[in-house]
Amino acid sequence: MTEHLLARTMERARVSRQRRLPLPGEVLVDAGAVVQPDTIVARTTLLPGSPYFVDVLHGLRISKETAPPDVMDRVMVVQVGDQVTSGDVIARYTKGFLGEVVVVKSPVTGVVEFISRVQGRVLLREDGRSARPLVVVSAAKDLDIWPRLLRMYVHCWEGDEIKQGQILAASPAAMGWDCCYAPVGGTVEKICTRTGTISIVRPVRCSEVDAYITGEVTAVIPGEGVEVSGAVAYVEGVFGLGGESHGPLVRCAGPGRILEADDILPSHEGCVLFGGGLVSLEAMKKAQELKVSGLISGGINQRDVVRFLGKEVAVGLIVDEGLDLTVVVTGGFGPMPMSPRAYQLLCDFEGAAVSVSGRTQVRAGTVRPEVLLPLGERVSPELPDADLQVAPVRGMLAPGTTVRVIRRSHFGQYGQVVAVSSRPQVLATEVSLYTVDVELANGTVITVAESNLETVL
């Protein structure tokens, strides 16, 4: 099957990209600094501020089946948005005729992010600056068993890699099973039958963010990252694989010709290669083997994508899929040639250090793969705005922006943004999302999750 999709090409444009750390850290450049794609602009070595789910009703020994609907409102000592310190009481309940007071304490320092009145749980967002590399879980106490019997009930052993929310241990209860869950991901270091605890070591990784494009730092976001702007020629793709990459641009196949494995040489390591037609499965495999930074082609076969990844592509969102290779397809699926304009533009920039991104999103907004070719000395004083990624990312929607609804019950309707929430809002489903007020063409104003909109250019 051959499917041709529309991709944009701009010979002179100015782009701006925000480069943010996933966690609070250190910004390494100042506003006005000239950067290259491989310039490290921010770095962090903090542990992630993990979400902690605290089962309040279980901790207070209240049965969910018999609990009144307003029980969470009656027992909670803190509310959403409150700052808590490890050991602070977050819920209190008085039991029985003797007035026994049972409390639940916060296991971490952080902020109360969400209270579920349906599940009887509280979500705490740990402060990354106070995150502990070692977390000790009182498994025997949670299961109400003797510490010496803990190993009879564990579902993991020392050295095991575990994920957050995974069951660490479970014991029979009157109505099913009592379970002890991992509050964080990491490695099980010790199962202690003297104290009845399970120790989890959390990985500490250094995270760095590069500039991605050649340009100038136009703004610094303290503790988070920077905004980089640059003058580029822009080639938009319709499909891509992999994340962001950069390298010298090298032509390997002429207009309409298939980019084969024989076209890729060991000297192409770290380069971004392009051809004017289809890219073959063998070429992608060889490029990955030789550590090529990226491939740009006109077409690609859908079956080759599945064989290359070893699985079907997830519908809607394609991220890096664990690839070290970035692939950008400008024409479509099947033996599609690259457009003459895009091919000539790439030829004009052969040898230049280019930036490529294979990130593709076709649901909940649109993010297209892209090729950014730095203009350098070819820069014009006045360049049109080309911030072409139209996914509903924070900061891109503003009052007056024309959008289209891409989810029921107003699917396909156009409107204008009236207001954008400054913080996540809790919806009826208890999901916390950023929302947007949109005035439709008939004058009706609706509130929509930001991820359910796409910008209309």
User: 61 with 117, same domain?
Assistant: yes
Q: Is the pLDDT of residue 71 over 80?
A: yes
User: 353 with 271, same domain?
Assistant: yes
Residue 92 belongs to a domain with what CATH number?
A: 2.40.50
Contact between 278 and 296 under an 8 Å Cβ cutoff? The reply is: no
Q: What is the mean pLDDT of residues 7-31?
A: 83
Q: Which of 80, 98, 128 is the last residue of a domain?
A: 128
| Band of pLDDT at residue 394, cut at 50, 70 and 90 | very low
Q: Tell me which range, 36-50, 65-79, 177-191, 271-285, is most confidently predicted by mean pLDDT.
A: 271-285
Give the C-alpha separation, 298 to 222, whole Å. 41
Q: Which of 78, 110, 128 is the last residue of a domain?
A: 128
| Band of pLDDT at residue 390, cut at 50, 70 and 90 | very low
Q: Is the pLDDT of residue 452 over 70?
A: yes
Q: Is residue 144 part of a domain?
A: no
Q: Is residue 31 part of a domain?
A: no
Give the C-alpha separation, 150 to 171, whole Å. 10
Q: What is the mean pLDDT of residues 24-43?
A: 91
User: 412 with 340, same domain?
Assistant: no
Give the C-alpha separation, 187 to 190, whole Å. 9
User: 372 with 435, same domain?
Assistant: no
Dump pLDDT digits (tens) for 80-115: 889 898 889 999 998 876 778 889 998 888 889 888
Tokens 């000592």 sit at which residue?
77
| Band of pLDDT at residue 49, cut at 50, 70 and 90 | low
Q: Is residue 141 part of a domain?
A: no
Q: Is residue 368 part of a domain?
A: yes
What torsion do the CA atoms of 366, 298, 315, 320 make, to the nearest 10 degrees?
Answer: -80
User: 372 with 418, same domain?
Assistant: no
DSSP string, 300-357: E-HHHHHHHHTSPPPSSEE--TT-S-EEEEEEEESSPPPPHHHHHHHHHTTTSEEEEE
Q: Is the pLDDT of residue 367 over 80?
A: no
Write the CB contacts of 69 (distance below 8 Å, at least 6 apart in sequence): 117
Give the C-alpha separation, 370 to 374, whole Å. 13
User: 305 with 427, same domain?
Assistant: no
Identify the pLDDT of residue 435. 85
| Band of pLDDT at residue 318, cut at 50, 70 and 90 | low
Give the C-alpha separation, 211 to 229, whole Å. 10
Q: Is residue 193 part of a domain?
A: no
Q: Is residue 426 part of a domain?
A: yes
Q: What is the mean pLDDT of residues 343-372?
A: 83
Give the C-alpha separation, 407 to 433, whole Å. 15
Residue 269 belongs to a domain with what CATH number?
A: 3.50.30
User: 328 with 252, same domain?
Assistant: yes
User: 320 with 412, same domain?
Assistant: no
Contact between 60 and 74 under an 8 Å Cβ cutoff? The reply is: no
pLDDT mean across residues, the chain: 82
Q: Out of 79-93, 306-320, 340-354, which region has the weakest mean confidence (pLDDT)?
A: 306-320
Q: Is the pLDDT of residue 22 over 80?
A: no
User: 367 with 408, same domain?
Assistant: no
User: For residue 292, what are the domain limits?
Assistant: 3-16+228-378
Count of domains forming the chain = 3
Give the C-alpha separation, 359 to 364, whole Å. 14
In 3-state terms, what secondary structure has residue 18? strand
Residue 150, phi then psi, degrees to nearest 5: -55, -40
Q: Which of 128, 153, 179 is the last residue of a domain?
A: 128
Q: Is residue 10 part of a domain?
A: yes
User: 406 with 440, same domain?
Assistant: yes
User: 7 with 60, same domain?
Assistant: no
Identify the pLDDT of residue 327. 93
Identify the pLDDT of residue 36. 92
Q: Burial-class residue 436 by CB neighbours within 10 Å (0-12, 13-18, 19+).
A: buried
Q: Is residue 58 part of a domain?
A: yes
Closest CA to 150 of 105, 184, 186, 190: 190
Q: Against a cut of 0.75, is the pTM above it?
A: no
User: 419 with 348, same domain?
Assistant: no
